[in-house]
């Protein structure tokens, strides 16, 4: 049966989406200096919600030293619950569901953002980017505390009224850093072999699922986002990711979410270049868990292109630029979709300078002055 974007979708834990489109997680850097949700931020989410099946929020830190940048969201203390409750209810209009993305930046931050503290990671290896600091390797006790922090974050997300959490294991942040042979050079229980590099992800996923099951809350979902390849040598290869996906697909997760810049991108790995990366991932999953695809989706053809190899479609920049993108597509008004972000529209759409900065890095042709 052909999948359609207008289909409803039910996850394993019972949550139902009104269609197959989700807003991709996008950091807008609008929180206060102390990471509390601003009113502008909840208004921004309200403006971009209501049409899609679900909104996945920006990455939200589970520990104070997991903060990745100024203006980010956080959930490492009960003091964040009132702001996050406002955020969840801003998203939940017209039946749209609210999913909170939770993460720890690991080595992808710096001591200025952390107010003088060093970043932490699996090992004391700096990222390959300009000005990257050498992180402090986490002790075993700190690793166990971190797993507890992901569990506490999940319990707070339930209290704040979210419909689910997405574990951010993509885009080079801490969960990925443990799996990567570049950032994980440990030789204890948490590194050394692929199996041991997976242990942190394994224990976080199991811990979070257990917290949800024990909470007694109905329909609260747990998803996992991953990046399929790293360019560093050593780094995560498609071979590694296929093993990771195989392991995750056997867990009681509600979905897996591949992070890609372009949904139909093909690997440079000669063992995996006969079809798109997403097609290989879907093949490995083999129906065990739903897959969310993403990456430069702009048109109906793109939506159908993702649905050929996934169950759900996440859309980032197209929705940021035109919050009415989904209804225009559903109602056959594709020609009226805004494709570029004009300077004088930024305030009206509440697109922050932080988001514009990201857009400038990733896709400057979508910004017009
Ligand atoms: C402004 C901006 C902020 C982003 N922040 C996050 C984030 O917090 N977490 C995440 O997993 N991905 C983040 N991404 C990546 C998007 O989720 C998405 O994977 C990427 O933009 C490709 O989809 P698109 O072409 O539909 O925008 C961000 C992207 C943009 C443009």
- How high is the pLDDT of residue 335? 96
- How high is the pLDDT of residue 338? 93
- pLDDT beneath 50, residues of the chain: none
* Closest residue by CA, ligand 1 atom 2: 26
CATH 1.10.10.10 describes domain 9-368: no
Give me 198's structure tokens. Answer: 């997976």
* Contacts of residue 186, Cβ cutoff 8 Å, sequence gap at least 6: 122, 123, 137, 192, 196
Task: Tell me, using a 6 A CB cutoff, whether residue 52 lines ligand 1.
Answer: no
DSSP character at residue 322: -
Give me 31's structure tokens. Answer: 């929180």
CA of 24 from ligand 1 middle (Å) equals 6
pLDDT digits (tens, 9 = 90+) for 299-337: 999 999 999 999 999 999 999 999 999 999 999 999 999
CA of 140 from ligand 1 middle (Å) equals 31
- How high is the pLDDT of residue 353? 87
Task: Tell me, using a 6 A CB cutoff, whether residue 25 lines ligand 1.
Answer: yes
- How high is the pLDDT of residue 367? 82
- How high is the pLDDT of residue 361? 81
- How high is the pLDDT of residue 350? 87
- How high is the pLDDT of residue 154? 98
Give me 40's structure tokens. Answer: 């502008």
- How high is the pLDDT of residue 328? 97
Domain residue extents for the chain: 9-368
Residue 314 CA: nearest ligand 1 atom is: 26
Outline where DSSP puts E strands in 35-163.
54-56, 60-61, 73-74, 97-103, 120-121, 136-137
Nearest of 214, 222, 204, 207 to residue 289 by alpha carbon: 222
């Amino acid at each position: 049966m052909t999948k359609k974007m207008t289909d409803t979708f039910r996850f394993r834990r019972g949550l139902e989406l009104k269609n197959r489109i989700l807003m991709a997680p996008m950091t807008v850097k609008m929180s206060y200096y102390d990471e509390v949700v601003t009113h502008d931020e909840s208004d921004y989410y309200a403006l971009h919600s209501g049409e899609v099946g679900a909104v996945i929020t920006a990455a939200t830190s589970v520990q104070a030293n997991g903060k990745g940048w100024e203006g980010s969201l956080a959930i490492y203390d009960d003091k964040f619950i009132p702001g996050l409750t406002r955020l969840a209810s801003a998203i939940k209009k017209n039946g749209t569901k609210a999913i909170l993305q939770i993460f720890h930046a690991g080595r992808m931050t710096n001591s200025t953002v952390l107010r003088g503290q060093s970043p932490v990671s699996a090992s004391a290896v700096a990222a390959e980017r300009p000005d990257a600091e050498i992180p402090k390797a986490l002790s075993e006790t700190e690793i166990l505390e971190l797993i507890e922090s992901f569990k506490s974050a999940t319990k707070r997300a339930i209290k704040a009224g979210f419909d689910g959490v997405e574990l951010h294991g993509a885009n080079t942040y801490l969960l990925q850093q443990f799996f990567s042979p570049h950032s994980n050079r440990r030789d204890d229980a948490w590194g050394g072999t692929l199996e041991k590099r997976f242990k942190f992800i394994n224990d976080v996923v199991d811990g979070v699922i257990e917290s949800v099951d024990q909470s007694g809350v109905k329909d609260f979902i747990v998803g996992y986002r991953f990046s399929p390849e790293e360019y560093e040598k050593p780094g995560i290869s498609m071979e590694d990711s296929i093993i990771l996906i195989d392991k995750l697909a056997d867990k009681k997760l509600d979905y897996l979410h591949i992070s890609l810049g372009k949904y139909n991108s093909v690997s440079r790995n000669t063992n995996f270049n006969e079809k798109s990366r997403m097609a290989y991932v879907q093949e490995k999953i083999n129906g065990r868990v739903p897959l969310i695809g993403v990456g430069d989706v702009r048109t109906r053809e793109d939506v159908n292109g993702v649905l050929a190899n996934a169950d759900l479609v996440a859309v980032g920049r197209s929705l940021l630029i035109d919050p009415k993108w989904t209804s225009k597509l559903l109602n056959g008004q594709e020609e009226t979709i805004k494709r570029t972000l004009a300077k004088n529209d930024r305030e009206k759409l509440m697109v922050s300078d932080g988001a514009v900065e990201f857009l400038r890095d990733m896709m400057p042709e979508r910004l017009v002055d």
